[in-house]
Structure 1
Amino acid sequence: MTAARAELDRLWARGTEFLGCKVAIMGGAMSWVSERHLVSAISNAGGFGVIACGSMNPAQLEAEIAATQAMTDKPFGVNLITMHPQLDDLVRVCLAGKVGHVVLAGGIPPGGAVRAVKDGGARLIAFAPALVLAKRMVRSGADALVIEGSEAGGHIGPVSLTVLAQEILPHIREVPVFVAGGLGRGEAILSYLDMGASGAQLGTRFAAAAESIAHPNFKRAFLRANARDALPSVQVDERFPVIPVRGLVNEGTKRFLKHQADTRDRFQSGELTKEAAQLEIEHFWAGALRRAVIEGDVEQGSVMAGQSVGMVTSIQTTAEIIAELMSQATAALAARSGK
């Protein structure tokens, strides 16, 4: 197995070198979940934790970075949403806090933010949902890419990782590419390393980790769930677009369907303008993720989860999860070489 481990290290050497860690496994940035405890635990276990800034203001992010640094001396990153109204200030907070890697997610990164990250000496990681955008991100200065398939939890694109990997990995060689979406076992990670990926990003497996501050009800929902229980949100009327979010089906998701239909009817009767109706639909889930993750309301809250949730069968420490993934990958490599 020593030779197999050496081969695994060779396969993801570009990823570990880029991230500055021993294991090229990034933690997915999950709002309310990816905070100091989980992020530091992933980094301390040899992986690469990523703080989910989400809707934090600059002062909150500054405190979170400092608290994480107090819990680990290993590298970690910060994920910023490009639509955040204080994006420039958040970038400055990351640079002042000596964060080495900044992830810009949720849209095409603005040129000003890209330049600020690069000029500040940090490495920029961007998401690429298609080959044409991957090439554009590289041209605009991204130092690495994440390609995330629709199997992932939370906000998703329309294309599976299986297809994205085939579309993008053979053509993007200039920067490291990390794969994400539906990953729950080491053999799967290995298959994408073989295709040219430099590492992987996992969220769902870590959301239910022992160090995750998610409510016990939230973790128990993961333990009970199968892959088919993690479905994207459904849009009732194309006039009122719904951003697809993958999560566990519960009473809240059923109420959302009825809420959309009722709101559409109020629009058609003239009670609401189109803009007001759209806002009514968008506001339905306001605070719903926090209700599930922090307060434990897994029936009415938003239980975001990827399809790999079916592979969450026990509460493990992050170190155990990473060790298990590596053991699976090295066993597959050893079997391949007949040892």
Structure 2
Amino acid sequence: MSATPYLDRLTARGRGFLGSRHAILGGAMTWVSERNLVAAISNAGGFGVIASGAMAPDMLACEIEATRALTNRPFGVNLITLHPRLADLIAVCAEAKVSHVVLAGGLPPAPAMAAVKQFAHLLCFAPNLAVARKLLRSGADALIIEGSEAGGHIGPVSLAVLAQEILPALPEAIIFAAGGIGHGAGIAALVEMGAAGVQLGTLFAAAEESVAHPAFKQAFLRAAARDAVASVQLDPRLPVIPVRALRNAGTEAFVAKQREVAERLDRGEIEPAHASLEIEHYWAGALRRAVIDGDVETGSLMAGQSVGMVKAIEPVAAIIERLVTGAEAALARARVAEPA
């Protein structure tokens, strides 16, 4: 690995918190962030994160064990707060002595935060400054600020705005920036602003070690940033979180699915809670078709706007090396340009 003294100094808190060579988190991507990719990220000096998604507790236990068979480096587990068996999943992580847990998918409940804190470092997503402060007061050890440029489920605000709002206001907090990051110079700018590190997903989804179908990866290679679009919410009674994915027939099918569920809601055939859940299940199935089966026409090609920077299918180690050397070069240029 290349020497990166400037980057190391600026990311010292993030690296120390994660226990990894570089403060680069792998974004947790359902069906993609499994044992092979997670281990590859950790082995290459980053910090892999298992996406538990809708896994049952026994499945998660197996995935943690299988990941440990592939790496002796630290990695974490991402848990969705809306999972009906969240407490059981936390218990699995405790039993497996997982060192870091990310609670995602909404404001985490206090009991879940307290349970995780008993055995692991806790990371939470902060969509704005007020929530960031609340999470830190509630016991979060680190935060992830993810801009709307990211792939998958997204918030409404860009990383460029979130970074300016949150990083200067919380200089003592350990904060990882995410969303649309695809180049070392971008990492350099964020850590200069105060980020302790970064999180990336889209670049890793197309890596050699990713289990995603070859057709899925080829779609990434062909795509431009503008092709990764956010889903539209048709009915306020179905408050589904927007999803960013590559535009295809599946994008239009999702609009039709919302319309169908809304009509059933009008007829009283389904309860509001079940209606929203059906929408989420639709996304999970569409994502699996794309990632596992290679259905790039009607499946969900979840990708961030950094997809335009995916130029080749290459090993995770090469991706991380390029990112850190690019960041180091940008930081070095800035130091040279400084007045004496």
TM-score (norm. length: structure 1): 0.93
Larger displacement relative to structure 2 (92-101 or 301-310):
92-101
Larger displacement relative to structure 2 (73-82 or 84-93):
84-93
Show the counterpart of 1:198.
196
The CA RMSD over aligned residues, in Å, is 1.9
Distance 2:270 2:91 in 1: 40
DSSP-derived class of the 1:159 partner: coil
- The letter of the residue matching 2:167 is L
Show the counterpart of 1:331.
329
Structure 2 residue 168 is matched with structure 1 residue 177:
no
Deviations 1:282-333 (A, max 9, x none): 5543511111000110111111000000000100100000000011111112
CA shift in 2, pair 1:264/1:329, >3 Å: same
**Do the aligned partners of 1:225 and 1:309 also contact (CA within 8 Å) in 2?**
yes
Structure 1, unaligned stretches of length 5 or more? none
Deviations 1:105-135 (A, max 9, x none): 1112222221122122x10011100100000
Show the counterpart of 2:258.
260
CA shift in 2, pair 1:39/1:85, >3 Å: same
Distance 2:53 2:91 in 1: 16
DSSP-derived class of the 2:16 partner: helix
Show the counterpart of 2:245.
247
Show the counterpart of 2:33.
34
Show the counterpart of 2:150.
152
User: Alpha-carbon deviation of 1:241?
Assistant: 3.3
**Do the aligned partners of 2:240 and 2:276 also contact (CA within 8 Å) in 1?**
no
Deviations 1:80-112 (A, max 9, x none): 011111111111111211211011111122222
Show the counterpart of 1:318.
316
- The letter of the residue matching 2:62 is A
Show the counterpart of 2:8.
9
User: Alpha-carbon deviation of 1:264?
Assistant: 4.6
DSSP-derived class of the 2:176 partner: strand
User: Alpha-carbon deviation of 1:75?
Assistant: 0.3
Deviations 1:176-215 (A, max 9, x none): 1000000000100110101110000000000000000000
Distance 2:145 2:69 in 1: 31
CA shift in 2, pair 1:274/1:72, >3 Å: closer
CA shift in 2, pair 1:190/1:273, >3 Å: same
- The letter of the residue matching 2:58 is A
- The letter of the residue matching 1:180 is A
Distance 1:240 1:86 in 2: 23
Distance 2:55 2:277 in 1: 22
Structure 1 residue ranges, 4+ long, deviating more than 3 angstroms after superposition: 237-242, 258-268, 270-286
Q: Spell out the pairing of 1:217-296 with structure 2 (5 A cutoff).
A: 217-261=215-259, 264=262, 270=267, 275=272, 281=279, 283-296=281-294
Distance 2:275 2:141 in 1: 41
**Do the aligned partners of 1:234 and 1:242 also contact (CA within 8 Å) in 2?**
no
**Do the aligned partners of 2:10 and 2:191 also contact (CA within 8 Å) in 1?**
yes
Show the counterpart of 2:163.
165
Of 113, 122, 129, the residue aligned with 2:127 is 129
Distance 1:77 1:124 in 2: 10
DSSP-derived class of the 2:336 partner: coil
CA shift in 2, pair 1:337/1:98, >3 Å: same
- The letter of the residue matching 1:61 is L
CA shift in 2, pair 1:313/1:98, >3 Å: same
CA shift in 2, pair 1:68/1:271, >3 Å: closer
User: Alpha-carbon deviation of 1:261?
Assistant: 3.9
Show the counterpart of 1:83.
82
Larger displacement relative to structure 2 (28-37 or 91-100):
91-100
- The percent identity for this pair of structures is 62
**Do the aligned partners of 2:238 and 2:276 also contact (CA within 8 Å) in 1?**
yes
TM-score (norm. length: structure 2): 0.93
Show the counterpart of 2:61.
62
- The letter of the residue matching 1:99 is V
CA shift in 2, pair 1:287/1:192, >3 Å: same
Larger displacement relative to structure 2 (275-284 or 9-18):
275-284
Show the counterpart of 1:207.
205
**Do the aligned partners of 2:26 and 2:48 also contact (CA within 8 Å) in 1?**
yes
**Do the aligned partners of 2:6 and 2:332 also contact (CA within 8 Å) in 1?**
no
DSSP-derived class of the 1:14 partner: helix
**Do the aligned partners of 2:221 and 2:308 also contact (CA within 8 Å) in 1?**
yes
Structure 2, unaligned stretches of length 5 or more? none
Show the counterpart of 1:109.
108
Distance 2:323 2:261 in 1: 45
- The letter of the residue matching 2:90 is V
Deviations 1:249-268 (A, max 9, x none): 11111122234345556666
User: Alpha-carbon deviation of 1:238?
Assistant: 3.2
DSSP-derived class of the 2:145 partner: strand
